[in-house]
Structures are given as C-alpha cells and as structure tokens.
Structure 1
Amino acid sequence: MKKDSQFDLNIAKLADKMHHYAFELGPDFFARFDQQLIQEGNLHVDLELLKTDRLMTLDFHIKGTVQVTCDRSLDDFDQPIDVQRQLLVRFGETYAELDEDVLQITPETQVLPIAQHLFDYIGLAIPMKKLHPRFQNEPDENPDADSKLIFTTRTKGDDDDDDDYTDPRWNALRNLN
C-alpha cells in the first residue's frame, strides 16, 4: 500500500470532542493496494470521530458501488456497498491490534492512517458469491433446501418413497462375509 496523507488523520491536534470527516474513494484509492479484489469503485465515506482523553471512537459509513466480476458469467458489474463499522482506538504503552475493531496506539502517536481500514471494510462487504443482477432473481427449484442435489446413485426406476433403499453395491459387499 502506498502512503498518502489524504487518508491519515492528524490526531495530535484534535480536541476532545466530535469531529466529522468525508472522503471520496475512486479508482485511485484502490490502485494504492497491491490486490486483485477491487480495481474500481465510487464510494463516499462519512466518518465521525469522537475523541476523549483515553479513547477514540471512529464510526464509518461507507456507501457506493465497487466494480466486481460475476462468478457465473464473468461480466463486470457494479456491486452496491453500504457499510457501517466502528473502530475503537485506545491509548496504551505500545502499538497493537487487539481485535479486528480495536486498535491500541501510544499517546505520542501523531497520525492515524485509516486507508487500510477503509479497504478492509469495503472488501468484507463484498459478497462471497458475486452474481450479476440479472442472475440474482432466478427462482430456486427448492428454496427450502440447504443445497442442491448434484449426484445420486438411485436410478430412474427406483421408488423414491422407499426409506429402506440401499445401493445394490453395498449388498454385494455384505455378502463377502
């Protein structure tokens, strides 16, 4: 990731109160990261930072679209993103990432970089299965099923209601005793 002061918050000069920031994220923002997940996007970030003497609470609201590739058709499309995340930054003796949403910094820290946090929040908001909108409204054959049946050993003439059905190959194995 390239360094950029645009996404570095100068926290040394902040008073203990609520502060508001706004950022626009475009293709230049995603080009800073050495990754293939997101190449383009158009997002708006509203950040509210509440600073106290012991803690800073950063509330992010990220809204817009990112361009992703459909897993089914390989067509590019704009995936809507609407994320609200909170990052807690506390002051301590050493720098440490205590949790995914809790960061510890030293009281002497002058600048808090947030670009990586923004990128991570956007990346986590992208669904694992990326489907173009034309495929998202296709009806499932059985919406109550957990997964679709891909393979079965039953033949077309088998009685599907027979609970005692066993594969004939197992019967042959049982006769080996």
Structure 2
Amino acid sequence: MKEIKKYDINLVKLGNKSHGYEFELDNRFFELFEQELILGGNLKAVVELHKSELLLQFDFHIQGTVRLICDRSLEEFEHPLEVEQTLLVRFGPEDLELDVNVLQITPDTQYINIAQHLYDYIGLAIPMKKLHPRFVEEDLELEDDPEAEGLLIYSTGSDGDEEDGDDDGEDDGPVDPRFAALKKLK
C-alpha cells in the first residue's frame, strides 16, 4: 500500500500553473497490479500537470521497455514502448469517470493517484499480437510475399449469369435434390 502512495499528487499545495513530475516504473510498479499481461519493465514516465481553477490537464509521456511473453513461442522478450496520453480532470459535485480520458472530482479532493492511469496507458500501448522480434521479421516477409498464403477467390456465379438479367436464382445445371425440394416450397 505504501508503494502506491508514490504516485499520489497533492492537489492542495499546487498553484494554478504547470508542474512537472517524473516516475520510474520498474518491476515493483507492475507488481502493484493483479495482472499477467506485463511481467515487468523499465520505463520512465514524465507527467506535466497544467492546473487552472476549473481543470487539471495531465500530459503523460512514457518511454522504455516492458517484458512480455511471446504468443507464439512463450519466450520472454523486451518490447519498446513510447506513449503520449492526456487526462483531463474537471471539478464537479461528485467523483465520476466521464470518459476514458476525462474524470470529475470534487473541489475538496486533496490527492489524486495516477498509478492506475500509468498502468492503463502502458497496457493499451502493448500490441494485441505479442511477438518476439525474430517472429515480427518473419511475419513482415510473409506479408510482402503474395504467394506465401493461399489466394482466396470468391465467386457468386458465372459471368454469364450477370448479363441474363434472370434474378430468380435458379441455375440450369444439376441441383442437389435437397435444394430442389426447398425450391418447391415457394
């Protein structure tokens, strides 16, 4: 519990101007959250807070690496990250989350903890498909090679059917008896 207090920002002492904060996000930071997505990391978060009478604007810049598990080989690897996000906090009658990046707090709120926001922004920057760098190069080569994957061709009928103007959907070729019975139900 004491570890998470490092990410508290005291709003009472702040004047209406810009304030800068720096946080080192290492393995202990990721241990604060019950999760299996990120094994650890070494990141630096620079948070610029612009305070006015009506609004707090937090500009987050997070840069470094996180340790992930490859989805293909189950090996650990370091994945570089660079995150730029903005969180807006306005004052209102009650504490609410108005949007993903917009919060409302009461004017008498003394502290705001940004640990969860830091974690969420890092988590959102991780790709859906977590691949070790050696597999990323292979995937890029496959994407550039048109013969690497099968060619899918979709056809709704022969070219002559479009020109006939016959839209009843019946073909002149052999019909599966099960479908012939269904056509009789019309």
Tell me, what secondary structure is at the counterpart of 1:119? helix
Higher helix share: 2
1:66-85 CA deviation, whole Å, 9 max, x = no partner?
10111111111011110000
Give the RMSD, CA atoms, in angstroms.
Answer: 3.1
Give the 5 Å matches for 1:1-177.
Answer: 4-138=4-138, 139-140=141-142, 164=158, 171=176, 173-176=178-181
* Aligned partner letter, 1:137: E
| Distance change >3 Å, CA 172–CA 67, structure 1 → 2 | farther
In 2, Cα distance between the equivalents of 1:141 and 1:13?
54
Please, which runs of 5 or more residues in structure 2 have no aligned partner?
A: 160-173
Aligned equivalents of 1:71 and 1:35: distance in 2?
16
Identity %: 49
Amino acid at match of 1:53: E
Q: Supply the distance in 1 between the matched residues of 2:90 and 2:116 (Cα, whole angstroms).
A: 18
Q: More deviation in 33-42 or 20-29?
A: 33-42
Distance apart, 1:171 and its partner CA:
4.1
Give the alignment's TM-score, normalised by structure 1: 0.82
Gaps of 5+ in 1: 155-159
What code does the residue aligned with 1:80 have?
A: P
Mapped partners of 1:110, 1:10: distance in 2:
6
Aligned length: 166
SS of residue matched to 2:80:
strand
Question: Retained in 2: the 8 A contact 1:89–1:105?
Answer: yes
Shift of 1:110: 0.4
Q: Counterpart amino acid of 1:55?
A: L
Distance 1:96 1:3 in 2: 25
SS of the equivalent of 1:36 reads coil
Tell me how far apart the structure 2 counterparts of residues 105 and 133 of structure 1 sit (CA, whole Å).
42
Task: Map Cα deviations across residues 108-167 of structure 1 (whole Å, 9 max, x no partner).
Answer: 0000000000000000000000111001122125668xxx659x8x9xxxxx99x639xx
Quote the Cα distance in structure 1 between the aligned partners of 2:17 and 2:2. Answer: 30
Tell me if the contact between 1:58 and 1:87 (Cα under 8 Å) persists in the aligned partners.
yes
